[in-house]
Amino acid sequence: MPAPPSLAELLASTEPFALLDDARAPAGQARSRLLHGFTGVLACASVEDLPAWQAQLQAAIDAGQHVLLLADYQWGLELHDLPPSACEHDGATGLRALLFAQQQLLDTTEVAQWLATPGPTRCGLLGWRPAHDRQRFIQSIARIHAAIRRGDTYQVNHTFALQGLAHGDPAAIHAQLRQRQPAAFGALIRLPQQHWVLSLSPELFVRVDDGVVSAQPMKGTVAAGDNPAEAAHWLATDGKNRAENLMIVDLLRNDLARIALPGTVQVPALFQVQPVGRVLGMTSTIQARLAPQTDLATLLQAVFPCGSITGAPKRSTMALIQQLETASPQPHARGLYTGAIGWLQGGTDAARMQLCLSVPIRTIELSPHPGGGHYARLPVGAGITIDSDAASEWDECLLKGDFACRDMAGLSLFETMRVDAQGKVLSWPAHRARLLASARQLSLPLGPNTLDQAFNQQQGRLAAGPPRRLRLSLAADGRLDWHCSVLEPLPGTGPVTLLLSPSPIDTPHWLLAHKTDLRQQYDQAIATATAAGAFDMLFFNAQGQLTEGARSNVFVKLAGHWYTPPVAAGLLPGVMRGQLLADPTLKARERTITRDELLAAQELLVCNALRGALPAVLAP
């Protein structure tokens, strides 16, 4: 078998590829699949198209194509005679088969080496927010309890989305998540238009091997806590969780019976507990032998979507899910989440079919952000029964998203402040407000009381002396670090000199508004400017608009008036910039500034909290 292309080679292209990753496979067993050489998509928008779609799929397999199957949860609505969702998820296209010319089988070591080939890269997930608040979740649980009392349902899988942002290479993010929470049914998928799927699913939906169909629903969870063994014993013996699991086992037994040889449905394993990150999940296994007439279309119609992520009975519960999750003011369409991801080979008939589909839980979908980077979407959910406590279920949902939300920012925040000759930190209230606001927006743990206590201790240690530079860093885990050094005077007198960057800024715009340590381009610019005897280098965005210097904000005098670029152009709202905008004598205003306007400016000022406002000129 030829060696697979490197990840760097695949990333250099814009073509889709997929890694279906069994990170829990025994050593040396090649259970992961790398699909590449994208040739096209076969989409099935409705149930009536299934026969024709299946025929096309069989022809592709016969021609040597390798198949990635993706199914959005909403595709199952038509299967159960339910109306389509009024809230369409971005990128959702029902059921589709992505076709690839090449496939390599890899073991866990080979996958880890393959993911590491581009080398270290800065990346992260941050800014997570629930799409709706705790109170709305509690109200939804009350509605579910009312439906259970009416007899409309016995159990409902209720979900909502966590929404955040991603920076850096999605493949590098997946590699970090894989180390944190290795999963048997993981997936790293690049879709058309730079949409990505990063799945760390622990749940098997359905597997077909040698005519035997297996399902392994996961139902029942608990926090692993400080004593996982004790928590596992509690989960395996807890009556509520066992009942919840057994309901879904019965549902899937009935689903499989529709496509199985009579008398072959069995349950070889019940209530098995396994770790899933910081929670424990309980699974059971159902098996049957496929009836000879069962093909892929028949199988999907019988079992999709998986009962573990609907509840029971399936159809009426899906109707209730529609009411709850697509209701205003914040409608939520599940999309690929709780649908299916997997591979198919051999054929679409029972005799040849080899199939493995996961339930895409613990799954992040990335879509391009117009300002760079990606929007991130991580739905989470809980199985609600009559005994469920709404507050506990809310906490459990957040814990399920913890693998992607905790310490995954991939950056730190910092503030650089001037300490005067008396040992006083200047402009502390403005630095404090900016740091707290950025920490809140990017979901870094920092409370005002913690910050104030740390600052008061640091201020108390500062004595009189020469002007100093004080740097405060906030790490992704909430750790605060202080560093103080003497502030050396600038060489020479008169206006400082500025260079112009030959390259536009390459950091996502939404990150530039925060003072982060993602500064490689800026640090290189400062080094270049310093070597040339200049103070700073000015940057432009992709639209050719002036933004900021690598270590300063810039003000430009045009036709007798002072202007500074708006934050929307992609820049940090500096502390000194804010003071100059508030200065009634300067009367400065925000305005977009072009390169030509900069070159024709009457005067220039650059400013930061360390040096104040400095007259400046452009280098010849």
- C-alpha to C-alpha distances, 133 to 115, 129, 139, 438, nearest whole angstrom: 36, 9, 10, 21
Averaged pLDDT, 550-558: 98
User: Packing angle between helix 108-116 and helix 170-180, nearest 10 degrees?
Assistant: 140
pLDDT(88) > 90: no
Q: What is the pLDDT of residue 3?
A: 82
Q: The CATH number of the domain where 582 resides is what?
A: 3.20.10.10
Q: Are 529 and 499 in contact (CB under 8 A)?
A: yes
506 lies in which domain range? 496-618
Query: Are 309 and 185 found together in one domain?
Result: yes
Model pLDDT, residue 329? 63
> What 3-state DSSP class applies to 558?
strand
Catalytic residue among 9, 48, 88, 203: 203
Report the candidate in 193, 278, 264, 171 with the shortest Cα–Cα distance to residue 15. Answer: 193
**Residue where a domain terminates, one of 405, 436, 456:** 405
Provide the pLDDT for residue 84.
84
pLDDT tens readout for residues 186-204: 999 999 999 999 999 999 9
pLDDT above 70 (res 93):
no
User: Are 394 and 426 contained in the same domain?
Assistant: no
What CATH code is carried by the domain that includes residue 178? 3.60.120.10
H or E element at residue 70? strand 66-71
Residues whose CB is less than 8 angstroms from the CB of residue 5 and which lie 6 or more positions away in sequence, other chains included: 36
Evaluate the CA torsion angle 313, 315, 316, 318 in order and state its sign.
positive
| 88 and 213 together in one domain | yes
Residues 350 and 447 in one domain: no
DSSP string, 372-424: SSEEEEEEEEEEE-TT--HHHHHHHHHHHTHHHHSS-----EEEEEEE-TTSP
**Same-domain check for residues 436 and 378:** no
pTM of the model: 0.92
Tell me which of 219, 314, 400, 515 is the catalytic residue: 219
Q: Is 515 marked active-site?
A: no
Which residue, chain included where needed, has tokens 């089988």?
105
Number of Cβ within 10 Å of residue 421's Cβ equals 10
> Looking at the domain assignment, is residue 52 inside a domain?
yes
Residue 31, in any domain of the structure: yes
What percentage of the chain has pLDDT greater than the value 90?
90
Domain's final residue, options 428, 456, 486: 486
Q: Is residue 114 part of a domain?
A: yes
What count of Cα atoms within 13 Å lies in the side-chain half-sphere of residue 353? 26
Whether 491 maps to a domain, the answer reads: no
Residue 476, domain CATH: 3.30.470.10
Percent of the chain topping pLDDT 70? 98
- Average pLDDT on 113-132 reads 88
| Domain shared by 267 and 324, yes or no | yes
- Asked if residue 2 belongs to a domain, the reply is no
DSSP state of 131: S
* pLDDT band at residue 87 using 50, 70 and 90 as cut-offs: low
3-state secondary structure 278-311: CEEEEEEEEEEEECCCCEHHHHHHHHCCCHHHCE
Whether 557 sits among the annotated catalytic residues: the reply is: no
**What is the pLDDT at residue 328?**
55
One domain, residues 600 and 456: no
pLDDT, position 92? 54
Same domain, 384 and 523: no
Mean model confidence pLDDT for the chain: 94
Which residues are within 8 A (CB) of 191 and not within 5 positions of it... i.e. 6 or more apart? Answer: 16, 91, 98, 197
Return d(Cα 338, Cα 332) in angstroms, integer.
Answer: 13
**Counted domains in the chain:** 3
> Is 333 within a domain?
yes
Q: Which of 415, 571, 552 is nearest to 496 (CA)?
A: 552
DSSP bridge pairs for 546: 540
* 356, 228: one domain: yes
Q: Is the pLDDT of residue 183 over 70?
A: yes
Mark whether 33 and 178 lie in a shared domain: yes
On whether residue 48 sits in a domain, the answer given is yes
Boundary-marking domain end, from 486, 507, 525? 486
Q: CA nearest 157: which of 300, 305, 327, 341?
A: 305
Residue 416 pLDDT level (bands cut at 50, 70, 90): very high
How far, in whole angstroms, is CA 199 from its chain's centroid?
10
Alpha carbons 103 and 346: distance in angstroms, whole number: 14
Residue 1 lies in a domain: no
Same domain, 600 and 451: no
Instruction: Indicate whether 192 and 76 sit together in one domain.
Output: yes
Residues 555-574 as b or e (16 or more Cβ within 10 Å = b): bbeeeeebbbbbbebbbbbb
